[in-house]
Amino acid sequence: MSITRTTHRTVTFFHPTHLPGHDGLLPAGEYEIDTLEKLDLDAPMRRYIALECRVHIWSEKDKSEATNILTVDPQKLEAALALDSDPLRAADRKQMIISHGGQPEDDAA
């Protein structure tokens, strides 16, 4: 028997970013994330394990309905958020943007 739950959160990318499964770069901005988690029945205390994240990609004109839902490994999403927010990794972020066809910003965050 498997017990699952879905959690919801909003994340902000301050720079263009790339997530596996999406061609090119996603623009900076807020994204709605649904995370499917499974209860770890072997843990001594209640603990959930993230199985997958669904990133809602909105239309530029209509923010009321997601036009695409991208399924991403939770570790890949957390790695992208860490790269986006760490000022000491500006060179890595710049290289990622260039490698996916984007133009990096001149002023690093």
Q: Which residue has the tokens 């596996």?
A: 20
pLDDT digits (tens, 9 = 90+) for 57-96: 876 666 666 578 999 999 999 999 999 999 999 999 999 9
- Provide the sign of the torsion angle of the four alpha carbons 55, 60, 61, 63, taken in this order: positive
**32 in helix, strand or coil?**
strand
- Taking residue 15's Cβ as centre, other Cβ atoms within 10 Å add up to 20
What's the whole-model pTM score?
0.85
pLDDT digits (tens, 9 = 90+) for 7-51: 999 999 999 999 999 988 999 999 999 999 999 999 999 999 999
Amino acid 73 reads D
Residues 96, 18: contact at Cβ < 8 Å? yes
The secondary structure of 5-25 as a DSSP string is EEEEEEEEESS-B--TTSSS-
Residue 32 CA to residue 2 CA, distance in Å, equals 25
Residue 103's pLDDT is 87
Residue 26 CA to residue 78 CA, distance in Å, equals 15
Residue 106's pLDDT is 58
